[in-house]
A and B are shown apart, each in its own frame.
Chain A
Amino acid sequence: MKDTRRSRAVLGILLITALAMITIDYRGGDNSPLRGLRGVGATVFGPIEHVAASVVRPVGNFVEAIADAPGQRSRGDRLERENQKLRAQLQSGQLDKGRSAQLQQLLGTAGLGGYKIVAAEVISAGQGFEDTVTIDVGSSSGVKADMTVITGDGLVGRVTRVGPSSATVLLVTDAAATVGARLEASQEIGVVQGKGRRGLGSGTSTPLRFQLLDANAPMKVGERLVTLGSQGDRPYVPGVPIGSVVKIEQTPGSLTRTAYVKPFVHFTSLDVVGVVVAPPKTDPHDAVLPPVPSLMPGS
């Protein structure tokens, strides 16, 4: 092999380049000198993803319906599956109608909370260990970094990076996401943490954990959580429903109490979302939560 030496040299150069980039980007953090590269990525790939998403959306809905089917055995699951099939049929038949319903719900939620939103659609999702999605609105629609993203059901995440016509959203389920939260009735506060790729890291099916700061405060299964609101309403506006407590972990002697939280939003089928471009004038408290407590679906 004549060019073994040459290809080895090329490999060496490329590996050193990659390591150098990792170092520079890691050291730089948010002000990394390489963030221009991400800008290039958003500018170049954003519009392509846009087109790709609109082409594959009907196909995706169909495959989703099929992929959901296996592995659901018990009667309840079978019924749910039938339900899903029907819903998928409805969706593929009346795609736009479904989307408009989602939009209606989103608008209703936004109206209840007094949030001003920009509607968007999810066009791609992250790879590896990341729980991130791209949405089809960007700086040209007034979207900026650190804005809250919601659906009609509740909190989705926050905007981390903005391109001209697309933006990256860090989902609350991501292991790098942390949200200040409040129990609906008792007003007790704590922190909601993502458990990585759709709950893979937690060992259970709930992708969120809630840490109550006061270990002695009352907390019940079924209680619901809303966002506490960040300082200056960024990145999280107050009053957005997050999820409900499904299990409370009893660890005697610890300073905080941990609960497993089932989110209101279905993260595997995210489609229409809203970016909160203007926070409410006053904290909506529990006004955005649905009036009747939900009956703990799926458990």
Chain B
Amino acid sequence: MSLLTTENTTQSGRNVLAALVTVGALILQVAVFNRLPLPGQVTPDLVLLTVVALALLNGEMVGAVTGFCAGLAADIIPPADHTIGRYALVYCLIGYASGLLSDSMDRSSTVPFVAVAAGALFGTLLYAAVGMLLGDPRATGAVIARIVPVQVLYDVLASPFVIWVVMRLTRRAERAKSPRRRDLAVPGYRSRARERAL
């Protein structure tokens, strides 16, 4: 998908928006969600959901970069206490993989859920695997076996809300930036418009 020249003005705005949404998700995650005593003692991973949503909207390039940056932020935000780079690695891969699915968003409405479920499953497993390689005492088989199913379930349950919010914010920002963009027949926009109808 080649970028039109008129899109360059909105490109930086979109990047700023992606950064803001990601930081917001991260803060919400540590300050609110991680403190909720939900059954199973697991909380939905908002940062992962945000990365998947942004990647599905903007493609694999944005997905990989957003994933890396969000992961790095998740690695250094207090009270994170693990080796720096673990979430950066995991979210970067998930962002890229979800971005590859962005073209099929037009064809099926289940794509976001599949992406979120796969992302949650492989993300948790990969994060745990890296921890095991590094000798992290927390990443034991028993803990992983109990966390993974609940984590996938919670992430899928929370995904419609997060994806809806991210899409809404993106659309609003684009409309505010260039009101005439509604008239442009940009392929990506059409898919977003259809998503809205869902």
Report whether B138 and A129 are in contact in the complex, using a CB–CB cutoff of 8 Å: yes
| Complex contacts, B28 vs chain A, CB 8 Å | 52
Give chain A's interface residue range (CB within 8 Å of chain B): 35 or more
| Complex contacts, B23 vs chain A, CB 8 Å | 48
* Other-chain contact of A133, B29, B79, B92, B146 (Cβ < 8 Å): B79
Report whether B80 and A126 are in contact in the complex, using a CB–CB cutoff of 8 Å: yes
Report whether B31 and A166 are in contact in the complex, using a CB–CB cutoff of 8 Å: no
Convert B77-112 into 0s and 1s, putting 1 for each residue whose CB lies closer than 8 angstroms to a CB of A: 111111111111100110010010000000000000
* Other-chain contact of B68, A18, A42, A49, A126 (Cβ < 8 Å): A18
| Complex contacts, B64 vs chain A, CB 8 Å | 7, 10-11, 14
| Complex contacts, B93 vs chain A, CB 8 Å | 11, 15
| Complex contacts, A46 vs chain B, CB 8 Å | 78
Report whether A42 and B78 are in contact in the complex, using a CB–CB cutoff of 8 Å: yes
A285 CB-CB contact with B under 8 Å: no
* Other-chain contact of B89, A22, A122, A199, A268 (Cβ < 8 Å): A22
| Complex contacts, A34 vs chain B, CB 8 Å | 84
Report whether A127 and B76 are in contact in the complex, using a CB–CB cutoff of 8 Å: no
Question: Which of B14-22, B123-131, B165-173, B182-190 is the interface stretch?
Answer: B123-131
Report whether A49 and B76 are in contact in the complex, using a CB–CB cutoff of 8 Å: no
B157 CB-CB contact with A under 8 Å: no
Report whether A14 and B68 are in contact in the complex, using a CB–CB cutoff of 8 Å: yes
Question: Which of A61-69, A140-148, A247-255, A291-299 is the interface stretch?
Answer: A61-69
- Interface hits, A149-187 → B, CB 8 Å: 160-161, 163, 166-170, 174-176
Q: Tally B residues with Cβ within 8 Å of A.
A: 62
Closest residue on chain A to residue B128 by CB atoms: A129
Convert B10-42 into 0s and 1s, putting 1 for each residue whose CB lies closer than 8 angstroms to a CB of A: 000000000000010011111110111111010
Report whether B130 and A22 are in contact in the complex, using a CB–CB cutoff of 8 Å: yes
| Complex contacts, A198 vs chain B, CB 8 Å | 41
The smallest C-beta distance from B120 to any residue of chain A, in angstroms, reads 12
Q: Which 10 A-B pairs have the closest CB atoms?
A: A41-B76, A21-B85, A18-B89, A22-B85, A125-B34, A129-B138, A124-B30, A132-B79, A52-B31, A268-B37
Write 29 A-B pairs (CB below 8 A) sorted by A numbering.
A6-B61, A7-B96, A7-B99, A10-B64, A15-B93, A18-B71, A18-B92, A22-B83, A22-B84, A22-B85, A22-B130, A25-B84, A37-B75, A37-B76, A38-B84, A48-B27, A56-B31, A56-B32, A67-B38, A70-B39, A124-B31, A124-B79, A128-B87, A128-B138, A130-B80, A130-B82, A175-B137, A175-B138, A198-B41
